[in-house]
Amino acid sequence: MRLATWNVNSIRQRERHVAKWLERVQPDVLFLQEIKCQTPDFPALNFEALGYRAVAVGQKSYNGVAVLARVPFEVTHTALPGLTGDVAEQARYIEIETGGVTLIGIYLPNGNSGGEAGYQGKLDFMTALRLRAEALLAEDRDFAILGDWNVAPTDEDYAKGALSPTDALVRPATRAAYREILWLGLTDAIRALHPTGPVYTFWDYQSAAWQRDSGLRIDHALLSPKLAERLTSAAPDRRERGEEQPSDHVPVVVELA
């Protein structure tokens, strides 16, 4: 099974990129983030013509997630169970079942806007996500959580100078919340196979970040124990960042035997 996640930073601007990438890589399931359109405006029919059923959870102008799959699936949740407050009204979560496996696509809040209330929304999302993972583990479900986590888990996950020490992506509480999820017994797919060194998934549009390889690793795929045993490869597809008018994120692709 080939799983992937990609923050496309506007499906209107990047639909052609996604279509070409689907034809080249042919994932079984692709989760998208920051589609930036309302649900009815997502170009589902265009992707269905390529053999991918599409389901979007959108909102006007901001956020938004979607799943594209060439395997049969059932949508089980379009909002994160247990999440309350303003962040619960945002389009940031989709959960599906396919072949006895639960797959979750997330767009975790950045946390740098809205002051401390905005940052608390980020932590609230992470708490609810941890509780969801705990519930799935208690049910002995095989699952994966993929998406733009907006978390650089360690200092090795961003280029020197790319982030301020006070940035919400690296604040101690952010990293602690990520570790609480990971330490439930989940596996960070990329770090399982590339334990050290830069494996970036995001390069800012400013300051020639791509040209200088001043990137961040903030797009992750976390696997439950049985799925982790099936892991054969995991890596970002850096090629996409060099395309014309690219997203600032690249796809992350995970292969399961």
Q: Which CATH number belongs to the domain containing residue 8 in this structure?
A: 3.60.10.10
Q: What is the pLDDT of residue 254?
A: 98
Tokens 């989760």 correspond to: 31
Residues 6+ apart with CB under 8 A from 95: 75, 76, 77, 78, 102, 103, 104, 105
Residue-wise pLDDT tens digits, 115-147:
999 999 999 999 999 999 999 999 999 999 999
CB neighbour class for 47 (10 Å; exposed up to 12, middle 13-18, buried from 19): buried
Supply the Cα-derived Rg of the chain in whole angstroms.
17
Range of the domain at 174: 2-256
Asked if residue 17 lies in contact with residue 43, where contact means CB atoms within 8 angstroms, the answer is: no
CA angle 150-152-155, nearest 5°?
160
The reported pLDDT for the residue numbered 18 is 98
Angle at 204 between CA 200 and CA 206, to 5 degrees: 145
> Is this model's pTM higher than 0.75 or not?
yes
What's residue 155's pLDDT? 97
pLDDT-flagged residues of the chain (< 70): none
The answer to whether 134 and 184 are in contact (CB under 8 A) is: yes
Beta strands 65-69 and 53-57 are antiparallel
46: nearest Cα among 72, 66, 64: 66
- Which pLDDT score is estimated for 118? 97
pLDDT of residue 89: 97
pLDDT for res 41: 98
- Give the tens place of pLDDT for each residue, 142-152: 999 999 999 99
Number of domains in the chain: 1
